[in-house]
């Protein structure tokens, strides 16, 4: 990851108190243009990326548990090997997105537009709302663990 983007993200970290839980290191990147950025290996758990542009972003090996991607454009983003447990992808654009080998247990995909995404070798236990186009089903389920 480039030092500039790392410094930018660190400058956005705050403590969020939503009345029930205090989240240290919360980052609000809602609506940000992160297209094509190198975000490999970063921890953005509990981060808000609502309506963000992550087209062609490289997030390989990142930790994004309970991250909020609602309405985000994830076209051709690379999430290989990421932890995304309990993350929200509701109404996100998931076209050509690479989720190979990801942990997506408990993730939410309600209303997401999923087309030609690769979830091979991923864990998708207890996910909600994931709908796959009939043309994509043949290769989508190779090596996917769904309980």
**CATH number of the domain residue 26 falls in:** 2.160.20.80
What pLDDT was estimated at residue 134?
59
Taking only the tens of pLDDT, the chain with its 147 residues reads 467 777 777 777 766 666 655 555 678 899 999 999 999 998 899 899 999 999 999 999 999 999 999 999 999 999 999 999 999 999 999 999 999 999 999 999 999 999 889 998 999 899 998 876 656 554 455 555 555
The CA distance from 57 to 76, in Å, is 8
pLDDT value, residue 93: 97
pLDDT of residue 108: 96
Count of structural domains within the chain? 1
In the prediction, which pLDDT does 80 show? 98
Hey, how many other C-beta atoms are within 10 angstroms of the C-beta on 39?
23
DSSP state letters, 40-104: TT-B-TT-B-TT-B-TT-B-TT-B-TT-B-TT-B-TT-B-TT-B-TT-B-TT-EEES-B-TT-B-
> pTM for this one?
0.84
Q: What are phi and psi of 139, to 5 degrees?
A: -100, -20
Position 23 scores a pLDDT of: 53
How many whole angstroms separate alpha carbon 5 and alpha carbon 3? 6
Q: Residue 36's pLDDT is what?
A: 95
Q: Residue 16 belongs to what domain range?
A: 1-147
């Amino acid at each position: 990851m480039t030092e500039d983007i790392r410094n930018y993200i660190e400058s956005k970290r705050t403590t969020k108190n939503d009345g029930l839980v205090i989240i240290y290191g919360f980052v609000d990147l809602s609506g940000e243009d992160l297209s094509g950025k190198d975000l490999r290996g970063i921890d953005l758990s509990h981060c808000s990326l609502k309506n963000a542009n992550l087209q062609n972003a490289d997030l390989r090996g990142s930790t994004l548990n309970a991250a909020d991607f609602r309405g985000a454009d994830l076209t051709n983003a690379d999430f290989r090997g990421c932890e995304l447990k309990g993350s929200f992808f509701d109404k996100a654009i998931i076209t050509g997105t690479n989720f190979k080998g990801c942990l997506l247990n408990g993730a939410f995909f309600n209303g997401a537009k999923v087309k030609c995404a690769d979830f091979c070798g991923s864990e998708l236990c207890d996910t909600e709302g994931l709908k796959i186009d009939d043309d994509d089903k043949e290769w989508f389920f190779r090596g996917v663990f769904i309980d």
